[in-house]
Structure 1
Amino acid sequence: MRPHSSSILAAMLFVLAGCGDKSTLPAGAGIGPNPQLPQPHKTLIPTVHIAPAKGWPAGAKPQAAAGLAVNALATGLDHPRWLYVLPNGDVLVAESNKPKPPEEGKRNEGIRGWIMGKVMAKAGAGVPSADRITLLRDSDGDGVAETRGVFMKGLHSPFGMALVGDTLYVANADAIVRVPYKEGATEITDTPQQVAALPSGINHHWTKNILASRDGSKLYATVGSNSNVGENGMENEVNRAAILEVDVNSGATRLFASGLRNPNGLAWEPQTGVLWTVANERDEIGSDLVPDYLSSVKEGAFYGWPYSYYGQHVDERVKPPRPDLVAKATAPDYALGAHVAALGLSFASGAQLGPRFANGAFIGQHGSWNRKPLSGYNVVYVPFANGNPSDKPVEVLTGFVDAGGNALGRPVGVAIDKRGALLVADDVGNVVWRVRAAAAQ
């Protein structure tokens, strides 16, 4: 009898789980402004160690930090990835996943590509994209959404959202689009109009986030790389691994910062007005390399990818080398740990979670697939002082992995709601969680 494909996959993943390396760094050594970076450890077969997607049992939820409480704002969503809070308190949820072919483009990655595709499916990333934005409204202020409905549909793997005046911008996987918005609207029926195209093609990293400038004249868009370290050709990386600046009137686009392998979260630091991002770094050189990071974004700066990491640490896999670019590479501000998959970012401005969480950044960490032991799978808070990180991360929401190593949920986007609670999109649990001060509703 021919073995079932799922049995073959299970056997292959079992074998792969024994391959690769384990972390050798002391706890916390790869975190902070000056992370310890070991020597690269390139393996023939990538380290594969993932928490298979399981979902939350009835009545279960993550654990909140001392002094905080958590409840579900909404359940039963379809792969909720990103959040945006409108001025009236309505919450927009991008229910989205990777675009279908042929958006990905044609390429032949052989057995490695096939294995990685199966691994990502096991992690919960294999469901079709709902391609919509859902609106949640907590009408009576009890922390649970009584109103829920489709706000926009027929989108193309939507992710980032931004409201400027009476115009709502949405970042699809291939373009920024806009529609008119009227406060209190529960549905948008206008046909979205394209503002600017965004790099797509192979779309190794498909998520595109956007953030409006203070005056609303510009949008800043994150675009991840089309590869791990340029193996699909640098000709496929034009305006990728970057943050782009887009003029909302003309659609004119320019490179704002580059060398950021996969930036996602974007936010203005409230004290200084400086742009910050969280970014996912490269894979396959060890469980302790390379740390994902939180960093300010300097206009015109190059952050190393793919030629180097954390400043001038050369990645020998990239051919031909570019010593000229390595020489000018800017090191990130703050390491979050290797392979934590930092995605969501929101500063605490407006948060009502107590003085411990009043001045810093909340970060949704989706969790590792290629590290032993697992990393991420939590929401952390990085304290700030004088516009910069000032202390070690504090876990705000944990318990996303059960004792058997299964992922009950995986946090992605984070946002502060109108009443100062922290919202967290959980794309495996299909929940939007709401974290509040324990004494508050």
Structure 2
Amino acid sequence: MKYSSALTPLSLALLLSACDSERNGDLSLGPDPKLPEQHRGLVPTMKIAEPAEWGDRKPTVPQGYSITAIATGLGIPRQTLVLPNGDILVAEGRGGSAAKLKPKDVIAGYIKAQGNTKVKGGNRLTLLRDADGDGSYELQTVFAENLNAPYGLAYADGNLYVANQDAIVRFAYEDGQTKASAAPVKVLDLPSQINHHWTKALTISPDGRQLYVAIGSNSNITERGMDAEVDRAQVWQVDARTGAHKPYATGLRNPTALTIQPDSGQLWAVVNERDELGPDLVPDYLTSVREGGFYGWPYSYWGQNVDSRAQPQNPEKVAAAIKPDYSLGAHVAALGVDFSVPAMGATFAEGVFVGEHGSWNRPDPVGYKVIFVPFSNGQPAGEAVDFATGFRGEDGKTRGRPVGVTVDPRGALLIADDLANTVWRVTRNQ
């Protein structure tokens, strides 16, 4: 019998990970996490997610709440938006075209792909409607199509804004409309070359005048050079009418979701931090986003913790780096955030829900759930609690991966699941 001398991607990953000295540890959560020492290996330890069908299962939610699949058969749902009349829009698509630079990038790409859906991205917006208010969304129809990996969504004053991977576009919208009446109007081109991090999160100021769009870095830690990072790892403030824009905050490696705090109007984000410093570094985080603020990437993390891989170093930037508000733990891949409302019940009335897509580069997977971070006096206060779990089961199989989370002000939480291609709706029992 002849044996091939070529290593498969899986066997190569296992061989290289065996050379890695990383050790698993407990997650550090909260406003003041204890950060371990950096551990750098040839490649990060990787754990393949094994997808499986939900069958007759569904995610687990707290006692007194129920969860229902209100839309299935979608084309990779990412984020959702509740329109003024209660209809729901779902952004569907898959973007990114970054070339692999090193063999470890090929391996990581293979590993990640094992935990993703094989369905083609829809590149569209789907509208869901529950006409009689019974919790069953009997209408599921395409609102707009032929988009370019749409992700962020926002609405104000008869205008629907969509952040494609290469531009913000605007649709005119009237209550009750089920299909776009005309082609979208471009508001602003967005950085899209390479697109290592392609998602463009979006939100809008309470007065409807300013959009905020998040643009992730073009690398893990500047391995493509700093020229590739121009206008990257930032949140832009954009005039919704004219498209005039400016950097609002910088040094945010991959801000994947944005939301506005209802009472204060403060902008908040969840951010995916850098890889390859160990299974317990660097924590992804939830933070308020200050105008003019710098949050460390690529020179440092969690304030002034220096990352020597970024060369040349910039001590002035390190000294100015803002420490985030709340650690979510390393590699949880937070992709959704939204503030709660009193209609969600007393326990979950004040705080934010966070959708955690789940890790690929830890020996013990983390994330794969929706958590709730309680707030008091406008700031995170207390330990995060699990709100929707079971996306990764006790059998090690992954049946779903949360992305966007959206609070319906009438008292429901929407969860976009881009592995099961489903939108889930969580409500209080009556």
- Whether TM-score is above 0.5 comes out as yes
Structure 1 residues 332-361: Cα deviation after superposition (integer angstroms, max 9, x where no partner): 010011111111001002x52320000000
Structure 1 partner of 2:158: 166
2:95 is matched with 98
Match of 1:232 among 224, 237, 254: 224
1:221-279 CA-to-partner distances (Å, cap 9, x unmatched) read 01111000111111111111110011122211110000000102211112322111100
Q: Which moved more, 1:379-388 or 1:271-280?
A: 271-280
Measure, in 2, the Cα distance between the counterparts of 1:368 and 1:435.
24
Instruction: State which of 392, 397, 400 in structure 1 corresponds to 2:388.
Output: 397
Q: For 1:119-198, list aligned pairs within 5 A.
A: 119-124=111-116, 127-198=119-190
**Corresponding residue for 1:373?**
364
Structure 2 unpaired stretches of 5+: none
Alignment of 1:55-94 (within 5 A): 55-56=53-54, 58-94=55-91
* Cα displacement (A) at 1:22: 5.2
Q: Which residue of the other structure, out of 273, 291, 299, is the alignment partner of 1:299?
A: 291
Match of 2:427 in 1: 436
Instruction: Verify: 1:413 aligned to 2:404, yes or no.
Output: yes
Residue ranges of structure 1 left out of the alignment (5+ in a row) = none
| Cα separation, 2, equivalents of 1:21 and 1:32 | 27
| Alignment partners' CA distance in 2, 1:419 and 1:215 | 21
Paired with 1:353 and 1:111, the residues of 2 have a C-alpha distance of: 47
1:279-294 equivalences under 5 Å are 279-294=271-286
Measured after TM superposition, the shift of residue 199 of structure 1 is 0.7
% identity of equivalent residues = 48
User: Alignment RMSD, CA only?
Assistant: 1.9
SS at match of 1:244: strand
SS at match of 2:177: coil
Q: State TM-score, norm by structure 2.
A: 0.95
CA contact (8 A) 1:276 1:297 kept: yes
Distance change (3 Å), C-alpha of 1:4 and 1:69: farther
Distance across 2 between alignment mates of 1:126 and 1:326: 41
Range moving further from structure 2, 189-198 or 203-212: 189-198
- TM-score, normalised to structure 1's length? 0.93
Which digits, 9 at most, give the CA deviation of each residue in 1:100-123, with x for residues without a partner?
xxxx36x45131221122122112
Corresponding position of 1:352:
343
Q: 1:178 to 1:45 in 2, by over 3 A?
A: same
35, 39, 42: which one aligns with 1:41: 39
- The aligned residue for residue 213 of structure 1 is 205
The residue aligned with 1:277 is 269
Q: Does 1:424 align with 2:415?
A: yes
**What is the CA distance between 1:218 and its match in structure 2?**
1.1
| Counterpart in the other structure of 1:329 | 321
Which residue identity is paired with 1:303? Y
> Contact 2:24 / 2:362 at 8 angstroms: preserved in 1?
no
SS state of the match for residue 60, structure 1?
coil
Deviation at 1:53, TM superposition (A): 2.7
Contact 2:205 2:265 in 1 (8 A): no
Q: In structure 1, what is the Cα distance between the partners aligned to 2:35 and 2:331?
A: 13
Distance in 2 (CA, whole Å) between partners of 1:9 and 1:66 is: 43
AA aligned to 1:40 is Q
Kept after mapping to 1: 8 A contact 2:32/2:326: yes
1:257 partner SS: strand
Match of 1:194, SS?
strand
Please give the alpha-carbon distance, in whole angstroms, between the structure 1 residues aligned to 2:357 and 2:209. 32
